[in-house]
Amino acid sequence: MPPKKTPTRSRPAPQPVSVVTGGAGFLGSHLCDLLLARGHRVIVIDNLITGSTDNVAHLAGRPDFRFIKQDVTEHLYLEDPVDYVWHFASPASPIDYLELPIQTLKVGSLGTHKALGLAKSKGARFLLTSTSEIYGDPLVHPQTEAYWGNVNTIGPRGCYDESKRFAEALTMAYHREHGIPTRLVRIFNTYGPRMRLHDGRVVPAFVSQAISNKPITVFGDGLQTRSFCHVSDLIDGITRLMFCDHESAALPVNIGNPQELTMLEFAREIIRATGSKSRIVFRPLPQDDPKQRRPDISRAEELLKWRPKVSLAEGLVPTIAYFRARLALK
């Protein structure tokens, strides 16, 4: 069934207006910076359950920036016209969604429903930040958007994986039923300034351990792989997708860096980049931890003319500097 006619706004905005759910988080705050630099008026909605006002403190007082502390699973009402809704809200690290499984499921379901409802009522374009975790522990490598995944629905990671899979299904339902122009981005491992020190992800864990000359903890045999995309490249790819008008832009798009590293290789790179005296220690592999992770970015290259530009060595310089500064404050 073809999409129904897209709703139209009742009044035009004098400048583009973007609503960013989860805008006080690591990725959302970097998106806010870019949108403001491009002349948008930005409204952030965040309950700060994993985000921090520190990430957007430098934007306080700007007439084109507004922060609303609210849970996105509650009804979203804005008098303002809205052109774009960027749904970034969700716990996104293992520590967060293992401690907050119900909140994670609620933001992926109820939160996505409320954000889509806002886009529908305003006639706005909607973008969902999905994740490479929807592929689970993949049986296909590298992962293409056509792969349906290998996910343990009742495992400890299922709350996050399934919340995003449901969010994708709901987004496509609104696209087909209500004609909302929607975008789906599947984000692979991303790093950069504003990551939390102790959020359980590998970059802050390895970097903070290395800076402190503590043992670097590698899980399993360290031969599982990841690929790391600098946040500036990721946000560039996401904005290209949102503003892309091609008819196939509603389909999921992988955004990530296809350069693949084992965890042992990455640990050694962090030791080198920090000049650390840390040694590597091994711990048991967590349940359902993916053994391979690398995006096939052919669709992003063709549709968006995008591919990452920042090398790991280049991207680690400001990232390590950020973590040194944060650790110095503790």
pLDDT at 30: 98
Counting residues of the chain whose pLDDT is more than 70, the rounded percentage is: 95
CB atoms within 10 A of CB 58: 12
Two tokens, residue 11: 């009044």
* Pairwise CA distance, residues 300 & 184, whole Å: 12
| Active-site residue, selected from the candidate residues 160, 174, 191, 322 | 160
- Is 124 within a domain? yes
**Taking residues 90-107, what's their average pLDDT?**
93
Q: What is the pLDDT of residues 171-198, one digit of tens each?
A: 999 999 999 999 999 999 999 999 998 8
Give backbone dihedrals phi and psi of 191, rounded to 5 degrees, phi first: -140, 165
Domain that holds residue 248: 17-191+229-257+295-309
Two tokens, residue 178: 């209500």
pLDDT at 11: 45
94 against 12, higher pLDDT: 94
**Taking residues 87-106, what's their average pLDDT?**
93
Q: Residue 122 above 70 pLDDT?
A: yes
pLDDT, the chain, mean: 93
- Is 108 within a domain? yes
Q: How many domains does the chain have?
A: 1
- Is 187 within a domain? yes
- Is 329 within a domain? no
Q: What is the pLDDT of residues 311-326, one digit of tens each?
A: 999 999 999 999 999 9
Does residue 174 carry a catalytic annotation? no
Q: Residue 65 above 50 pLDDT?
A: yes
pLDDT at 5: 52
- Is 219 within a domain? no
Q: What is the pLDDT of residues 236-259, one digit of tens each?
A: 999 999 999 999 999 999 999 999
pLDDT at 198: 82
125 against 291, higher pLDDT: 125
pLDDT at 69: 98
- Is 137 within a domain? yes
- Is 64 within a domain? yes
Under DSSP, the state recorded for 150 is B
pLDDT at 3: 53
Closest to 145 measured CA to CA, from 276, 305, 41, 301: 301
Counting residues of the chain whose pLDDT is more than 90, the rounded percentage is: 86
* Pairwise CA distance, residues 25 & 21, whole Å: 9
**Taking residues 256-283, what's their average pLDDT?**
95
Two tokens, residue 251: 């389909």
CATH of the domain at 165: 3.40.50.720
